[in-house]
Structure 1
Amino acid sequence: MAFLQFWSPDADAQIKVGDKVPEFQLPDQDGKMFDLKSVVGKQPLVIYFYPKDETSVCTKEACSFRDNYQDFQKYGAKVIGISGDDVASHRKFADHHQLPFTLLSDTKNDVRKLFGVPKTFVIPGRVTYIVDKNGVVVHTFNSMKDGPKHVTEALDALKKMQQ
């Protein structure tokens, strides 16, 4: 049982479909404080947690969100990437890859823990949460290796929300 805890937190701790998205505040890539309360109730959200700026899979994932950004805008969704990197790292990452969406710095991993994002050994997990306009999680996707699939999963969930 202890071995399973090493892989991920208690399954009950992880945010699931039907849960209300937890409120949080974090600095964005420009150093401005982002408050989730400012967007809940106004638009759907795509909140994706990723391990680290400028690593292979994380860069593919971020660039896939960038390349499909107009589709997210078509659904009125706000895309938010969160990792433990600091504001300066996020600024460089966003500039280097022309990322048009919000990157939030969770250096203490408080928000990652709030969502119950699992780890694989010591590597922070890669999980995407789709949140409806009312702040309810309608879809989650967890895959460490397939960063771009987080984008297709998110777009499919947004499409279903509009049907």
Structure 2
Amino acid sequence: MEPGTAAPDFALPDQEGRIHRLSDYRGKWVVLYFYPKDDTPGCTKEACGFRDRMGDLQELGAVVLGVSADDVQSHKRFAEKYGLNFPLLADPEREIILAYGAWGKKNLYGKEYEGVLRQTFLIDPEGRIAKVWRKVSPEGHAEEVAEALRALRGS
């Protein structure tokens, strides 16, 4: 998954059960971000950052899609609790998480385990990967994405 390559398409349900496909967003920039778990401190900070920058991102012609292995009901609770204004896609089978390489070894308090890696892919209007963030810090990430989008659009 490097810049310039075609982004894998998907069909995943959001927190309302509506199916989203990458191909539905042709002609728009897509911020596809993978996060470990609903309603945990880092994931909440990252999601609220995107919520708060939604106006800027929409002005830049972008949509935001969050993806984790949590189910639709978990996403619904998370979105309602924090007033999230974008789709959270449920991938409990980890098909898209694996397709984008957002699954791997993690460390927590010295214990190694496998899980969803916090990564973001900026996909251009033609469906190609434009930029990848492999190691994301939740704090200020939405601003970082908006700046990259401005630079790529030349605006």
**Same fold (TM > 0.5):** yes
Which residue identity lines up with residue 110 of structure 1 in the other structure? E
Distance, in Å, in 1 between the alignment partners of 2:39 and 2:14 is 17
Asked whether 1:26 is paired with 2:32, we answer no
Counterpart residue number, 1:161: 152
CA shift for structure 1 position 102: 0.9
Asked whether 1:108 is paired with 2:99, we answer no
Distance, in Å, in 1 between the alignment partners of 2:134 and 2:53 is 19
- Structure in which a larger fraction of residues adopt strand: 2
Other structure's SS at 1:122 match: strand
Percent identical among aligned pairs is 37
Instruction: Decide which moves more: 49-58 or 31-40.
Output: 31-40
Q: If the length of structure 2 is used for normalisation, what is the TM-score?
A: 0.90
Counterpart residue number, 2:115: 123
Query: 1:12-161 maps to which residues of 2 (within 5 A)?
Result: 15-40=1-26, 42-119=27-104, 120=106, 121-143=113-135, 146-161=137-152
Q: Note the aligned Cα RMSD (angstroms).
A: 1.2
Distance, in Å, in 2 between the alignment partners of 1:61 and 1:143 is 13
Q: If the length of structure 1 is used for normalisation, what is the TM-score?
A: 0.86
Other structure's SS at 1:78 match: strand
In structure 1, stretches of 5+ residues that fail to align are 1-14
Superposed structure 1 runs of 4+ greater than 6 Å apart: none
Instruction: Number of aligned residue pairs: give it.
Output: 147
Contact 2:120 2:133 in 1 (8 A): yes
- Structure in which a larger fraction of residues adopt helix: 1
CA shift for structure 1 position 118: 3.9
In structure 2, stretches of 5+ residues that fail to align are 107-112
Contact 1:45 1:132 in 2 (8 A): yes
